[in-house]
Amino acid sequence: MAIAQRLDGKWAAGCVQADLKRRVEELTALGVVPKLVMLVVEEDEVSLGHVRRKARFARAAGIAAEIRTFSAGGGPEALRSAIDHLNGDDAVDAVLVQLPLPPGWDEVEIVGRIRPDKDVDGLHPENLGQAAFGRPRIWPCTARGVGELLRRYDLPVRGKAACVVGRSALVGWPIAQWFMAHGATVVQCHRQTPSVAHWTRQADIVVSAAGVPGLIRADDIRPGAVVVDVGLTYAADGPRGDVDPSVAERAAWLTPVPGGVGPMTIAMVAQNTVDLCAMRRGG
């Protein structure tokens, strides 16, 4: 029985990093050093770990990456003030607020406070609106990471049927928009969809971003499909994705969890930082 080939996000992210390093060297020669500042509520160790990985990747590519931490007990005002300061700092090209934020903090308002041309996650309402018209300033990092992973493996999207499971503003919706903008026919499923499997079985490409471990099983996939698992849930036995391991017996290509989309999301934070820097300062 054939086993799906691995869509290795670590390998693809390494390729992105090497390309970015060369581009940053060219910018540096012009006197321009891309700078990324990431803001995180320090009590959330998972979020802090994600931000540290993003900083390590960016620094390895030559980007100036800074982490600033905030206390949940102090409320969101200090975070808002920091965003306002960074918006006016011409040396800063990209700003990221690590999500999720503590309960009761208005994530939409806080993310929307970032200047759109410094919004490295691409989640400012203006940037999402541009994405809806297929003319984004930058694509949100996970959506762009999925697309870049497929590109690195020469897996075409144009003319394909894609099913995206999940519709969050952070992940599912931007991924669906990315596929439509790149010529795929897209069906987007969510918790109100009566039969998700009905749609996934018809798709050439299935992307699951529901955060439900084991949601997608072998019988839900057509033979030879490309399956991208964006879901990540931390269970007692370790991280788990939305896609059951049995899918490897039917799919042609499959991302691992971890090591699939996660490294690509991190890589796209660095990629978007450099792109935003070039847009603002030339190069």
Residue of 44, 121, 204, 244 marked active site: 121
Contact predicate 61/24, CB 8 Å: yes
220 catalytically annotated: no
Q: What residues contact 127, with CB distance under 8 A and at least 6 apart?
A: 116, 119, 136, 137, 138, 140
- Under the banding of pLDDT at 50, 70 and 90, the label for residue 283 is low
- The pLDDT assigned to 1 comes to 56
Tokens representing 105?
Answer: 């903090």
54 catalytically annotated: yes
Residue 159 scores a pLDDT above 80: yes
What one-letter code names the amino acid at 267? Answer: A
Ramachandran sector of residue 154 (left: φ over 0; alpha: ψ -120 to 50; beta: rest): left
Distances (CA, A) of 258 to 31, 56, 89, 224, 272: 37, 18, 36, 22, 22
21 catalytically annotated: no
Q: What domains, with CATH codes, occur in the chain? A: 31-116 (3.40.50.10860), 140-262 (3.40.50.720)
- Distance separating alpha carbons of residues 57 and 266, to the nearest angstrom: 7
- The pLDDT assigned to 231 comes to 93
What number of H helices and E strands is found in the chain?
9, 11
Distances (CA, A) of 169 to 147, 162, 246: 17, 18, 29
Residue of 17, 35, 44, 54 marked active site: 54
Residue of 17, 44, 98, 229 marked active site: 98
- The pLDDT assigned to 234 comes to 82
- Distance separating alpha carbons of residues 283 and 280, to the nearest angstrom: 9
- Distance separating alpha carbons of residues 162 and 153, to the nearest angstrom: 17
- Return the DSSP state at 74: G
The string of pLDDT tens digits covering residues 112-147 is 999 999 999 999 999 999 998 888 999 999 999 999
Greatest distance between any 2 Cα atoms in the chain: 58
Lowest mean pLDDT among 41-50, 72-81, 242-251: 41-50
- The pLDDT assigned to 236 comes to 78
Average pLDDT over residues 23-47: 91
- Of the candidates 34, 9, 77, the residue with the CA atom closest to the CA atom of residue 281: 34
Contact predicate 42/14, CB 8 Å: no
The string of pLDDT tens digits covering residues 164-197 is 999 998 999 999 999 999 999 999 999 899 999 9
- The pLDDT assigned to 221 comes to 97
Q: Is the pTM for the entire model greater than 0.85?
A: yes
- Return the DSSP state at 148: H
Alpha helices in 73-135 (DSSP H): 77-87, 107-111, 125-132
The string of pLDDT tens digits covering residues 196-228 is 999 999 999 999 999 999 999 999 999 999 999
